[in-house]
Amino acid sequence: MNSEYSIVRSIRRPLSTGKRSQRSTRTKKKKAEEEKTAASTNKKTLFSHRGKNETNPEETEAFANICRCLIEHRWYHGVMPRGEISTLLEEEGDFCVRKTTEKGKPIVCISVKCQKEVRHFPLVFENGQWTLKNLIKTRRFYEVVELLNALVSEKIPLSGAILIRAVPRPDYYIPHSDISLICKLGEGAFGEVWKGSLKRTDDDKMKKMEEKSGAGLSEKSKSRLYVAVKKMKGNATKAMTEEFVLEAKLMRQLVHPNIVTVYGVAPSEEPLMIVLELAANGCLKSYVAKYQCPVDQLLQFTADAARGMAYLSSKLVIHRDLAARNLLLGSAVEVKISDFGLSSSGKTEVKVKQMKVPIRWLAPEVLEEGVFTTKTDVWAYAVTLWEIFTRCQSDPYPGLTNQQAKDLIRGDALPMSPPEGTPPIVVKIMEDCFTKNPDERPSFMAILKRLCPEEDLTAYEPKSLAQSQSSPAKKSSAPSAEPLSSRSKRPARK
């Protein structure tokens, strides 16, 4: 018999009950000592070993305090997701620092452009010092800026990536400290909308914001601007954060009196927030239900909505959720289209398999094929007209189930009749918008022409997809990178 095999077998085979008991006692003692040593070590480590979904409030707060020390550096981009960061890092060696999660736990990482892609390297904070995970374990620094300076000056490669230029935060990043929340206006599945105020830290910048939205200074304080703040709630996933930022990114590109203006985003810390123009007169749905609006004012609402949608269609934006609930009213009681959470840009058609959109505003082709286009927005516009001229007393297809509403939408007849007292011009527009063949529905520019025949509509000339791709917007010159500095306060050691 092989001697080596015999040794293995002899170790595995218990000699007697008494010795097995002694061995068990020794094992327990050794295990207890190991646990005691591990507990002592973990006191010096920010994050001890935990299950994937386990969190420690004290550790989370400690990490948040550490990240707050990074906010003073312009190369720290907060909780911005990968997709947005990738658009900011343009040249080889461009880098920034941001906060993200790994296996459900918060971490800080370096994002760097390397060989036409952006790569991400997690940082580790232990015993009051920073290092790079699995890269330069022997080098530790008391501050992130010292670590970055070493990587840049010594050209230390991170799996082939060399850090060259620290990319500063864009101007549309707003510090959390500049935002004050006043009262909650509403909430959805993933976010809340608050009335708030924005500190006027830069007069020229704030003046541009006001000119962009048409909003004036508050009477109570010339140093603050009243705004709406849309903030994420709960523990947001990476996918939720990505969608939230994409909505803000799309809205930043839209500048029109009948579109809600986005002033910027606040990503430095959690919760992530979008700062928007405050609609002084609230939601159109609540307004028309509360006040006895004359028909002329209702016609103005329909024209404003058509004007905003004509602008969106000219920019190749499909809203996908047009309804009275998403129409807000500005200080002059003008309509401002809002809620671009489901919108898409740069496409003439969007096809989806699963939808979380209210059925009663959907066009037949959406129900049948899951296809969204500007013409499906036109159908939703007709449903919105029905809401406006019923003064939003009920949802569309009142008294019917969703299945019955679907049958009417798919049927050959007009899905719903114009409300009593609707002006003939609106009746005709509704009938045309409810045409089953999307190609036969009018465009938003044609609708606006019928409502406002004397208005100059050259600004709403639709662009083809080829035109939009052949003449991209000019890249804004990036501000010079902030020199790396080690003047920041050291995070308190635990």
pLDDT at 376 over 70: yes
The pLDDT value given to residue 61: 64
The mean-pLDDT minimum among 59-73, 165-179, 465-479 falls in: 465-479
Q: Give ranges for CATH 3.30.200.20 in the chain.
A: 176-277
The pLDDT value given to residue 345: 83
Q: Give ranges for CATH 1.10.510.10 in the chain.
A: 284-344+357-470
232 beta partners: 191
Q: How confident is the model at residue 209 (pLDDT cuts 50, 70, 90)?
A: low
Mean pLDDT of 331-355: 87
The mean-pLDDT minimum among 165-169, 189-193, 299-303, 305-309 falls in: 189-193
Rg (CA), the chain: 29
The residue type of 279 is: A
**CB under 8 Å to 371, separation ≥6 — which residues?**
349, 350, 351, 365
pLDDT at 106 over 60: yes
d(CA 318, CA 337): 12
Set 94, 304, 321, 339: catalytic member: 321
For domain 57-166, the CATH architecture is 2-Layer Sandwich (3.30)
d(CA 266, CA 231): 9
**CB under 8 Å to 24, separation ≥6 — which residues?**
none
75 beta partners: none
Calculate the CA 1 to chain-centre distance.
Answer: 69
Q: How confident is the model at residue 148 (pLDDT cuts 50, 70, 90)?
A: very high
Cis amide leading into 271 (omega within 30): yes
Tokens for 239, please give them: 């996918």
Strands (E), 249-383: 262-266, 273-277, 317-318, 327-329, 335-337, 344-345, 350-351, 371-372
pLDDT per residue as tens digits for the range 158-205: 888 999 999 999 988 999 999 999 999 888 767 889 999 998 765 555
The pLDDT value given to residue 222: 53
321 is catalytic: yes
Q: How confident is the model at residue 42 (pLDDT cuts 50, 70, 90)?
A: very low
327 beta partners: 337
Mean pLDDT of 75-88: 90
Backbone phi, psi, residue 224, to 5°: -135, 155
**CB under 8 Å to 90, separation ≥6 — which residues?**
113, 475, 478
Q: Which strand (E) or helix (H) includes residue 65?
A: helix 57-70
Q: Which strand (E) or helix (H) includes residue 94?
A: strand 94-102
Q: Give ranges for CATH 3.30.505.10 in the chain.
A: 57-166
The pLDDT value given to residue 32: 59
Q: The domain 176-277 is classified under which CATH number: 3.40.30.10, 3.30.70.100, 3.40.47.10, 3.30.200.20?
A: 3.30.200.20
Q: How confident is the model at residue 465 (pLDDT cuts 50, 70, 90)?
A: low
Average pLDDT, the chain: 80
Tokens for 332, please give them: 């002059």
Which CA distances in Å does 313 have to 29, 249, 260, 374? Answer: 73, 17, 16, 6
Q: The domain 284-344+357-470 is classified under which CATH number: 3.40.50.460, 1.10.510.10, 3.20.20.80, 3.40.30.10?
A: 1.10.510.10
Q: What's the whole-model pTM score?
A: 0.76
